[in-house]
A and B are shown apart, each in its own frame.
Chain A
């Protein structure tokens, strides 16, 4: 929409044609686009005016008392509604996230200060080897003891 029309659109739509400068009409005659858009705006304004209340509509007597009842009811409800508020939920989520981080940090630091326990497969393999070695050594010693007993027994028979 061109400037002369745009500048005076509200006055024109209000029906104050005499407040509209002469170049407004002149431009409308020359510019079909502006004339067409202006007609659309006029139809739109008429459509919006259909929302005007017809006649006097007033609430029934005792409206104030009913409003106060509603306020009392809403006041009671709003105490519980705090729990459902998005802000409250966001704060709860933030607090939970902080708690998780703190707990995570605590467990990580607590674990690192404990005696080392192999957890990785390689560490488990190494520890397995060590256990096997110590087991082999024990059975070798037992074998030696058994041989010694046999030697003693043999010597006794001789």
Chain B
């Protein structure tokens, strides 16, 4: 299997359903709302916020599990939507676009948090660093208190290795529970492309996870 994986093309099987009715994202009710925002209609923007705030909040909370962080990043997401909606090109659904922005913001936040942590740690004396390391080692040696939590952390870490597009696609499939057909409609890609992208993303995740298992405590990159 190892030899064949990634070598064989991903053919379109005859039994496979072809891309169904392609949704024209330019002619939806959402598109009309987007156009109103692009024309500086603040009421339309308010409608978008009210329509998607729960969704955005729940995506962020699913990744970060912290109410204050979720609130802060949700505000950031809508601010980003406000400033960049003029560039929205209607190639995908508005939800897909918002989903991608939301997940990216979460990962940006995690990255900045990690950098901040590294900066603070660099201010420590050698003795402090040694003490910290001893504490970390002691914590690492404790049995996992919550497997679910450990799984979530691992998922976040591994997903970091994917491109923003692959990451969103995989999350939309597994976390949001969308079918391949729905994903095709949401993204404007055909079903076969979605399947190929999902398969490759899954393989990348698997490889990253194997690397992590081989070298625990090290970067998966």
Contact = CB atoms under 8 A, between A and B. Distances in A.
Contacts of A90: none
Interface residues of B, number: 53
Given A57-B70, A67-B49, A7 B155 contact: no
B186 interface: no
B156 A57 contact: no
B203 to A, nearest CB: 8
Contact of A56 (B4, B11, B54, B74): B54
SS class, residues of chain A in contact with chain B: helix
A70 B76 contact: yes
Interface of B: 1-2, 4-5, 8, 10-11, 13, 15-16, 46, 49-50, 53-54, 57-59, 61-63, 67, 70-71, 74-76, 78-79, 82-83, 148, 151-152, 154-156, 158-159, 170-171, 173-175, 179-180, 195, 198-199, 202, 205-206, 209
28 contacts: A2-B1, A2-B4, A3-B8, A9-B195, A9-B199, A14-B179, A31-B1, A36-B1, A37-B206, A48-B159, A48-B170, A48-B174, A48-B175, A50-B148, A50-B152, A51-B62, A52-B62, A53-B59, A57-B70, A58-B53, A59-B57, A59-B74, A63-B53, A64-B50, A67-B49, A67-B82, A70-B76, A71-B79
Interface stretch (A39-47, A98-106, A107-115, A127-135): A39-47
Contacts of B16: 7
Given A44-B202, A49-B174, A67-B49, A21 B78 contact: no
A41 B202 contact: yes
Contact of A7 (B13, B59, B76, B78): B13
Given A10-B195, A51-B62, 7 more contacts: A34-B1, A37-B5, A46-B151, A50-B152, A57-B54, A58-B53, A64-B50
Contact of A58 (B5, B54, B154, B175): B54
Contact of A33 (B1, B67, B75, B78): B1
Contacts of B5: 1, 37
Interface residues of A, number: 41
B209 to A, nearest CB: 7
Contact of A53 (B50, B61, B158): B61
A6 B206 contact: no
